[in-house]
Structure 1
């Protein structure tokens, strides 16, 4: 199955509504970002799908989800990497991280968790390397700290100054390409 097909299947299986506050669930099908509190949003589905297609997570991958928010992308990533993979979501807002971790546990997503990120640390150094890293917040430049957490052959997808960048690592060689389109996210830092 193509990456587009795998992502479409994941988005059908892991419904957005389950990761929204009760008063927003009726808007889950709308292709717009939805505010989930604490200055955070649940990204619009077309953006999430585009990012996941660019990331191309594969069964068995170890994935870092930076800016996990409600846990929806973390759950989607867990679906895509399957039982042999692992997904670690990190979220700066403790209340969101706790709620997302509880929701993942209640849904039985044992291959994924969300933890509260430290303000002075980007990603999860010492927990990698990661095969894939997804960032759901706007960076000013490609974060070297996250590139350093990529495994050989790993990929990072990160919005930088309105553009979606794909960073691939092969040994010490790093290539960056820009995906089409423009994007808006909350700031990374």
Structure 2
């Protein structure tokens, strides 16, 4: 059974390679500190807790997974969240990525399409003391227009094409991080930036493997 320090060491080791591919010099210390504060073992089933700190994805039911810790750290870093930002998460899932973001921002909006997962993750996050999260059950492809624009958006499941509603809801200067591809073995992590003038810049970072985004699209 591993521990959080072992998990952080694994993240750092993988970051030494992958950060060169993604254009980052290193992972932000604030992101790693947030990862260290979130008890990942409380976001998986009891039977999987011996593997909670493995640097790998784990099943959470309903055909979904809790992401590999390194990918959580990398995507969080790419979002560059900070206090005062308006942040949207598409795909609450287990609530683990949600908790990491909640450690870094004043308030977070999170959407989950599967009601059972949404209920369980909300209960878990509230039990862990996170009171700076607004939840919604719905199709995250369409974002959360009432709370837009967002300074940062993360999508924790793969889409075949970048959702236009999410790009529309991105604030000037904002960042959208998401996996894009039709199959689990042909996806890429994409960073979408909207510059102050509203122009869109897309950067393909590295190959990834995510479950597909559920919903009408």
- Does TM-score exceed 0.5, indicating one fold? yes
Deviation at 1:125, TM superposition (A): 1.7
1:184 corresponds to:
209
- Structure 2 unaligned spans of 5+: 1-25, 182-186
Determine whether 1:64 maps to 2:69. Answer: no
2:6 corresponds to:
none
Deviation at 1:118, TM superposition (A): 3.7
CA RMSD of aligned residues (A): 1.5
Query: Is this contact kept in 1: 2:27–2:73, CA < 8 A?
Result: no
| 1:133-162 deviations in Å (ceiling 9; x for gaps) | 001111111111101111121110011111
Which of 8, 29, 32 does residue 8 from structure 1 map onto? 32
Query: Is this contact kept in 2: 1:64–1:89, CA < 8 A?
Result: yes
1:37 corresponds to:
61
| 1:109-136 deviations in Å (ceiling 9; x for gaps) | 11113321148x5221222111110011
1:50 corresponds to:
74
1:96 corresponds to:
117
Give the greater-gyration-radius structure (CA): 2
Dislocated runs of 4+, deviation >6 Å: none
1:33-182 residue pairs with structure 2 within 5 A?
33-81=57-105, 85-118=106-139, 122-161=142-181, 162-170=187-195, 171-179=197-205, 181-182=206-207
TM-score (norm 2): 0.80
Equivalenced residues, count: 183
CA distance in 2, matches of 1:113, 1:17: 23
| The structure with more helix, counted as a fraction of residues | 2
Query: Is this contact kept in 2: 1:134–1:157, CA < 8 A?
Result: yes
TM-score (norm 1): 0.91
Query: Is this contact kept in 2: 1:63–1:133, CA < 8 A?
Result: yes
